[in-house]
Structure 1
Amino acid sequence: MSDIVVFGAGGTAGSRITAEAVNRGHRVTAAVRRPEAVSYLPAGVDLVTGDATSAHSVRELAPGADAIVVAVGGGERALWRDAAENLITVLRDLPNPPRVIHVGGGATLLTPKGVPLLEEPDFPEEYRDAALGQADALAWYRSSAEGVTWTYLSPPPLEFHPGERTGRYRTGTEEPVTDERGRAVLSYEDLAVAVVDEIEHPRFENMRFTAGY
């Protein structure tokens, strides 16, 4: 059993990761900015006020944790880089820093031409700021996360929706995982399975991975 802190536990990904971890016997602290607005987390979760971009929050919640999951969203471009930088800066000063699992963006995955999807000319403009923010966070982990073990998980770039928990998925690293029809697909529920699997049985330490059917 692990002690897991989930920042953004009230969101689409964070709530499913929280539920998956609790259902598998882990102790979970659900950190959200407005606990009063969250009413759908499973029994046994410790719901607290917390912000991944706040040094105070991380210092308060990190001691004793085995893993910190970052599943934040809905902010401006700087949100994801700020969260990554704040976490690494605070955690590296702890004697036994917890591992960081960052739920990132699919648009940072590479096309067959070897360029990030977000750099394609037809990339939707309405998603650009979030995609760039997640790219900034990934670059930060890769360049500046010495002293803390991290993993960045990219979901499929397009077909990623709430759905069924199958408990199965395949993994890759830099390019989307596609099925026999060339589609990169995953449910939020199976993303949560992949996150908790990685906490229980680490395979992608200090690197990015992706998952799909």
Structure 2
Amino acid sequence: MSNIVVFGAGGTAGSRITTEAVNRGHRVVAAVRRPEATSYLPASVRLVTGDATSERAVRDLVPDADALVVAIGGGERGLWLDAARTLVGALRGMPAAPRIIHIGGGSTLLTRKGTRYLDEPDFPDEYRDAALGQADALDFYRSSADGVTWTYVSPPPLEFHPGERTGHYRTGGDQPVTDDQGRSVLSYEDLAVAVVDEIENPRHENTRFTAAY
């Protein structure tokens, strides 16, 4: 059993990761901005008001945690980099520090040409700031997170929606995992499975991985 803190536990990804972890017997602290609006989370979850960009909030939650899941969204470009900096700063030099599991953007994955999906000419403008923000966070982990154990998780770049939990997926590195038709598809529910599997059996420490069917 692990002690897991999920920042952004009220969101689409965070709520499913929280539920998946609880269903497997883990203790979960759900750090959200508005605890009163998250009655849909499992009853055994401990709800707290918490922000991954607040050094004080992070330090309050770190001591008993085995893993810190970052599943935040809905902010301006700097949100994800601020969270990464705050978490790494709080954990650096801490003995037996928890791992960071950062739920990142699929648009940071690489096309067959070796370019990022977010850099493609037809990438939607309305998603560009968030995509660049997630890319900033990934760059930070790769270049500046020495002494801290982290994992950056990218869903598919396009076909990623709420759906069915199958418990099955395949993993890859910096390029999407595709099926026989060249599609990269995953449900939020099975992303949650992949995340909790990684917490239970670490296979991608200090690197990024992606998952799809």
**TM-score band (shorter)?**
over 0.9
Aligned match of 1:193: 193
1:16 maps to 2:20: no
CA–CA distance in structure 2, aligned partners of residues 126 and 182 of structure 1:
26
Aligned match of 1:208: 208
Q: Secondary structure at the match of 1:95?
A: coil
User: Which amino acid in the other structure matches residue 113 of structure 2?
Assistant: K
Aligned match of 2:4: 4
Superposition pairs of residues 119-138 of structure 1, within 5 angstroms: 119-138=119-138
- Name the Cα RMSD after superposition: 0.6
Aligned match of 1:84: 84
Q: Secondary structure at the match of 2:121?
A: coil
Alpha-carbon shift at residue 94 of structure 1 (Å): 2.1
User: Which amino acid in the other structure matches residue 4 of structure 2?
Assistant: I
Deviation by residue 1:165-205 (Cα, 9 ceiling, x = unmatched): 00000000010011111111000000000000000000000
CA–CA distance in structure 2, aligned partners of residues 94 and 172 of structure 1:
30
CA–CA distance in structure 2, aligned partners of residues 211 and 64 of structure 1:
29
Aligned match of 2:115: 115
CA–CA distance in structure 1, aligned partners of residues 143 and 6 of structure 2:
24
14-23 vs 91-100, greater mean Cα deviation: 91-100
Deviation by residue 1:33-63 (Cα, 9 ceiling, x = unmatched): 1111111001210000000000000000011
> Aligned pairs, how many?
213
CA–CA distance in structure 2, aligned partners of residues 166 and 180 of structure 1:
19
Superposition pairs of residues 31-110 of structure 1, within 5 angstroms: 31-110=31-110
Gap regions ≥5 residues in structure 2: none
User: Which amino acid in the other structure matches residue 57 of structure 1?
Assistant: A
Deviation by residue 1:140-180 (Cα, 9 ceiling, x = unmatched): 00001111100000000111000000000000001001111
Gap regions ≥5 residues in structure 1: none
User: Which amino acid in the other structure matches residue 92 of structure 1?
Assistant: R
CA–CA distance in structure 2, aligned partners of residues 43 and 35 of structure 1:
13
User: Which amino acid in the other structure matches residue 160 of structure 1?
Assistant: F
Alpha-carbon shift at residue 93 of structure 1 (Å): 3.7
Q: TM-score, normalised by structure 2?
A: 0.99
Q: Secondary structure at the match of 1:143?
A: helix
User: Which amino acid in the other structure matches residue 158 of structure 2?
Assistant: L
CA–CA distance in structure 2, aligned partners of residues 191 and 71 of structure 1:
12
CA–CA distance in structure 1, aligned partners of residues 84 and 111 of structure 2:
25
Q: Secondary structure at the match of 2:153?
A: strand
Alpha-carbon shift at residue 95 of structure 1 (Å): 2.0
Runs of 4+ in 1 over 3 A off after TM superposition: none
Q: TM-score, normalised by structure 1?
A: 0.99
Q: Secondary structure at the match of 1:189?
A: helix
Q: Secondary structure at the match of 2:197?
A: helix
Deviation by residue 1:81-131 (Cα, 9 ceiling, x = unmatched): 000010000111422210000000000000001111111111111110000
Deviation by residue 1:4-61 (Cα, 9 ceiling, x = unmatched): 0000000000000000000000000000011111110012100000000000000000
CA–CA distance in structure 2, aligned partners of residues 93 and 71 of structure 1:
24
